[in-house]
Amino acid sequence: MTQQTQKQINLRIPGPTPVPDDILAAVAHPMINHRGREFAGIVERCAAALKTFFKTEQDVMMLSCSGTGGLEAAVVNVLSPGDKVVAVSIGSFGDRIASIAETYGADVKPLSYEWGDAASADDVRSALKETPDARAVLVTHNETSTGVTNPLQEIAAIVREHGETLLIVDAVSSLGAIPLEMDAWGLDVVVTGSQKGWMVPPGLAFAALSERGWKAFETSKMPRFYFDLGKHRDAQAKGQTPFTPAMSIFFGLDLALEKMAEEGLESIHTRHRNMGDLTRREVKALGLELLCSDERFASDTVTAVKCPEGIEVSALRNMMEDEHDTILAGGQAKLSGKIFRIGHLGLVHEDDIRSTMDALAQSLEKLGFTRTAPTV
């Protein structure tokens, strides 16, 4: 076997995010009995810590799958075929959860926006007036494909005025990095993924259901087996998972959550806000334009930047990688070739952003970008 030495890269994509060395070392822990006492201790510690980050009294279940598996679990555990759902979409992940619901037979009523815009609570109110018997509203908290954060608390307040309608939230690229309060805001299903704000590799999704969500679970008729959250809740109560878990990720998560608790939720949120502000400021100082149309909704975990005319996104990203070891994300779906994205979530500090911006400035210059004077 050959020994590979890993060069240091500045991984500035919106997940998987860089994993600190001590967490990487924890991930390499030898296998143990996943039904034994040591692993039960890890499950119990992680489950308890996650509740503090979700800001919930409810169980947070840890599923061995990527974020999309968590979204599928969210849908199939509370809905039934034929249920009407208002699917708020401001980008490709909003479209994804809508298509999961559709795949399982929900009657999806789309509430879609231009990519780059945020959803509005007033529009959600109107959509619920149009579909008064909506069983659920689906919403992406932070749309990773466009770098926009929806006003989730305001949207939740509208949904809560609407009786038993459930609010299902994709918090994959927000939770653990930007504020979200599951119980206080009245969110019914909340899902996130390990490779985003949590500083661990991909492989786990975390999902919690409100009391209303668990009530819906009792009558929900969508088919489910692996993602049956009842099975996960019951196993987790015994310090287990219903199926063989992604143990290595659990080893890392145990330490990651300890480190996050040490840093403190407030400080984590402030750090992400500062990194978001810094990124946007620097991007604009280079003469570039943000995709997000209203900066009040600009994401503090990922920034989407319009690629200047005459510059190819792929050429720019390749140059950043080859000459500066800095990895940016491209655009997804209809934004492919039009934008690039800078991830700033999880393990991220000012130096990471500053060196990214230096590399970006140098690469743009080398590719012939000349900034035009700002219009007044």
Burial class of residue 349 in the structure, from the number of CB atoms within 10 Å of its CB (0-12 exposed, 13-18 middle, 19+ buried): exposed
Sign (positive/negative) of CA torsion 195, 36, 235, 50? negative
Amino acid identity of 351? D
Decide if residue 343 touches ligand PLP (CB under 6 A): no
- Answer yes or no whether residue 176 interacts with ligand PLP by CB under 6 A: no
Interface residue with ligand PLP among 77, 173, 303, 356 (CB under 6 A) is 173
- For residues 66 and 63, give the distance between their C-alpha atoms in angstroms, rounded to a whole number: 8
Q: Which stretch binds ligand PLP (CB under 6 A): 32-40, 54-62, 64-72, 305-313?
A: 64-72
Q: Which residues pair with 88 in a beta bridge?
A: 111
How much of the chain is in helix, strand and coil states, percent to nearest 5? 45, 15, 40
DSSP 327-356: EEEE--GGGTTTEEEEE--SS--HHHHHHH
The answer to the question of residue 332 lying near ligand PLP (CB under 6 A) is no
Q: How far is the CB of 196 from ligand PLP (least distance, A)?
A: 7
Q: Is 352 in the site for ligand PLP (CB under 6 A)?
A: no
From the list 26, 172, 182, 305, which residue makes contact with ligand PLP (rule: CB under 6 A)?
172
Tell me, by CB under 6 A, how many residues bind ligand PLP.
12
- 17-25, 105-113, 165-173, 292-300 -> range binding ligand PLP (CB under 6 A): 165-173
Q: Does 150 bind ligand PLP (CB under 6 A)?
A: no
Q: Out of 67, 179, 197, 276, which residue is the one contacting ligand PLP (CB under 6 A)? A: 67
The nearer residue to ligand PLP, 329 or 364, going by C-beta atoms, is: 329
The C-alpha atoms of residue 87 and residue 6 are separated, in whole angstroms, by 42
Which residues, 6+ apart, have CB-to-CB distance to 305 below 8 Å? Answer: 283, 288, 289, 290, 291, 339, 340, 341, 342
Q: Is 226 in the site for ligand PLP (CB under 6 A)?
A: no
Minimum distance of ligand PLP from residue 143's CB (angstroms): 6
